[in-house]
Amino acid sequence: MEELIYKNNLNQDWISFIFFINLIIITVIFKINPPRFKSITLFYSSDIYIKRFSNEKKFNMISAYNILCFIITVSTLCLFLILLLEYNYKTLLFAFEYYYLFSSLILMLSSRYIFIQFLINQLKINHNYRIGILKNFINNFRFALFYLIFLLIVNYVEIQNKQFLLFTLFYLIIWVFYQFRILILLFKSNPQQILYIIIYLCTLRLLPWYWFYILILEPWL
Length of the chain: 221
Domain count, the chain: 1
pTM, full prediction: 0.83
Residue-by-residue DSSP string for the chain: -PPEE---SGGGHHHHHHHHHHHHHHHHHHHH-HHHHHHHT-GGGHHHHHHHH-STTT--TTSHHHHHHHHHHHHHHHHHHHHHHHHHS-----HHHHHHHHHHHHHHHHHHHHHHHHHHHHHT--HHHHHHHHHHHHHHHHHHHHHHHHHHHHHHS-EEHHHHHHHHHHHHHHHHHHHHHHHHHHHHH-GGGHHHHHHIIIIIIIHHHHHHIIIIIGGG-
Q: What is the pLDDT of residues 183-214, one digit of tens each?
A: 777 777 666 666 666 666 667 777 778 877 88
Q: What is the pLDDT of residues 114-138, one digit of tens each?
A: 887 777 777 666 566 777 778 888 8
Q: What is the pLDDT of residues 66-91, one digit of tens each?
A: 899 999 999 999 999 888 877 766 66
For 30, the domain range is 4-220
